[in-house]
């Protein structure tokens, strides 16, 4: 079974995707990490994020980079959102994601274009969202837990700007696939969101039987 989980930043899609993978015994790929790795490689090489050639050159990163803690910073996420707008970058990362999705038994992938571009024939698709205020709050709490100061107003502005870039780009913009189930987690605890996600996937698979 292939499950596609898409949605905006800090909506909870990674948390849900990991829980679905554990529940169904499937491998999980956080595809945002790939775009973050491109961003970090480009930054360390002194490249220009607006240059498609520089960004495409940065797609040739070593697998070991995927565990670098700098991938998880807000700055890397924001830079990832700029390099991911280049069609050449998306094309370079596509085969890797599709190979992961195509492994025997299936997989759970989360990102921005999993249900629309990477695996349009996925067995189940979720579009996970939450209000910008809730997402900024979650991000701020996450930072505080890591001992970092968090400015909630700045966080909301960053989330709104990231949404606009990810939803407004020409190449594979973030959008809900026509056949994806919407899951708004604004008023849900993690346990409630996971429970709903499992129910939606089960119902979708049951309908396909």
Ligand X SMILES: Nc1ncnc2c1ncn2[C@@H]1O[C@H](COP(=O)(O)OP(=O)(O)OP(=O)(O)O)[C@@H](O)[C@H]1O
Ligand Y SMILES: Nc1ccn([C@@H]2O[C@H](COP(=O)(O)O)[C@@H](O)[C@H]2O)c(=O)n1
CA-closest candidate to residue 12, choices 123, 137, 115, 150: 137
Decide whether 106 or 115 has the Cβ nearer to ligand Y. Answer: 115
Candidates 19-27, 43-51, 83-91, 184-192 — which segment interacts with ligand X by CB under 6 A? 184-192
Decide whether 10 or 119 has the Cβ nearer to ligand X. Answer: 10
Q: Is 125 helix (H, G, I), strand (E, B) or coil?
A: strand
Looking at residues 112 to 141 of the shown chain, list those that interact with ligand X (rule: CB under 6 A): 138
Is the Cβ–Cβ distance between 159 and 135 less than 8 Å? yes
**Distance between CA atoms of 65 and 161, rounded to whole angstroms?**
26
CA-to-CA separations, 68 to 20, 48, 109, in angstroms, rounded = 25, 21, 20
Does residue 142 interact with ligand X by CB under 6 A?
yes
Is the Cβ–Cβ distance between 204 and 181 less than 8 Å? yes
Among 24, 74, 113, 115, binds ligand Y (CB under 6 A): 113
Q: Which conformational region is residue 30 in: left (phi greater than 0), alpha (psi within -120 to 50 degrees), or beta?
A: beta
In the shown chain, the binding pattern of residues 23 to 62 toward ligand X, with x for contact by CB under 6 A and - for none, equals ---------x------------------------------
Q: Calculate the dihedral angle through the C-alpha atoms of 174, 177, 178, 180, rounding to the nearest 10 degrees.
A: -130
Among 139, 162, 196, 204, binds ligand Y (CB under 6 A): 162
Write out the E strands in 26-123. Answer: 28-30, 107-111
Does residue 198 interact with ligand X by CB under 6 A?
no
Looking at residues 93 to 112 of the shown chain, list those that interact with ligand Y (rule: CB under 6 A): 111-112
Decide whether 42 or 158 has the Cβ nearer to ligand X. Answer: 158
Decide whether 9 or 107 has the Cβ nearer to ligand X. Answer: 9
- Residues in the site for ligand X, rule: CB under 6 A? 7, 9-15, 32, 138, 142, 185, 188-190, 193
- Residues in the site for ligand Y, rule: CB under 6 A? 9, 31-32, 35-36, 77, 80-81, 84, 111-113, 162, 166
């Amino acid at each position: 079974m292939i499950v596609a989980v898409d949605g905006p930043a800090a909506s909870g899609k990674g948390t849900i995707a990991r829980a679905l993978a554990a529940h169904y015994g499937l491998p999980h790929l956080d595809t945002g990490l790939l775009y973050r790795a491109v961003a970090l490689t480009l930054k360390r090489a002194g490249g220009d994020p607006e240059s498609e050639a520089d960004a495409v050159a940065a797609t040739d990163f070593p697998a070991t980079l995927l565990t670098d803690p700098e991938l998880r910073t807000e700055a890397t996420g924001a830079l990832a959102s700029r390099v991911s707008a280049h069609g050449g970058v998306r094309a370079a990362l596509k085969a890797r994601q599709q190979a992961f999705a195509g492994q025997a038994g299936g997989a759970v992938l989360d990102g921005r274009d999993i249900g629309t571009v990477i695996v349009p024939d996925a067995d189940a698709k979720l579009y996970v969202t939450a209000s910008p205020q809730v997402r900024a709050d979650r991000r701020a709490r996450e930072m505080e837990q890591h001992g970092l100061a968090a400015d909630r107003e700045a966080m909301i502005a960053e989330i709104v700007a990231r949404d606009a870039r990810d939803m407004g780009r020409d190449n594979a913009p973030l959008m809900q696939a026509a056949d994806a189930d919407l899951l708004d987690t604004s008023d849900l605890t993690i346990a409630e969101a996971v429970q709903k996600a499992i129910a939606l996937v089960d119902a979708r698979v049951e309908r396909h039987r």
